[in-house]
Amino acid sequence: MDVDELIRAHTLATAVRRYDDLRLRDSLADPDDPAGPVPLDRTEALELLALGEVIARKAAQGRQLTVRTARERGASWAEVGRALGATRQSAWEAHRRWVDGQVAQRGRAGHLGWDDDEAAVERALAGSPED
């Protein structure tokens, strides 16, 4: 299964559960102990790798949605940066890249994306890193 199939098949929660199950089995498996957990096969090892990417992508999407919520509630970029363990400048830049990415998704199969008006609203909310 490739990462795009897994993104469609899982929510963040179900991806984490499956990842944890496979990772735990992988860490406990002993090929010399037939009574213990069965080692991952090739397909499962590749699924574990892909699930890590699914989790990272879904978490990043959720992070930027929460950044937007924090900004809507009046958080400064300095506060957002502290919450992310980053500078206000890098938090702002990451959010602007995310907005640009949403615009780039517009019209792609399986993606909603934002039109120019929606992006303008998001860019206005983002303001500048000094906000």
- What would you report as the CA-atom Rg of the chain, rounded to the nearest whole angstrom? 19
Domain boundaries, the chain: 1-73, 81-131
Residues 21, 34 contacting (CB under 8 angstroms): no
Residues 67, 95 contacting (CB under 8 angstroms): yes
Mean confidence (pLDDT) of the chain: 90
- pTM for this structure? 0.71
pLDDT of residue 130: 86
pLDDT digits (tens, 9 = 90+) for 12-60: 999 999 999 999 999 999 888 888 888 999 999 999 999 999 999 999 8
Asked if the model's pLDDT at residue 109 lies above 70, the reply is: no
Q: Which amino acid is at 72?
A: E
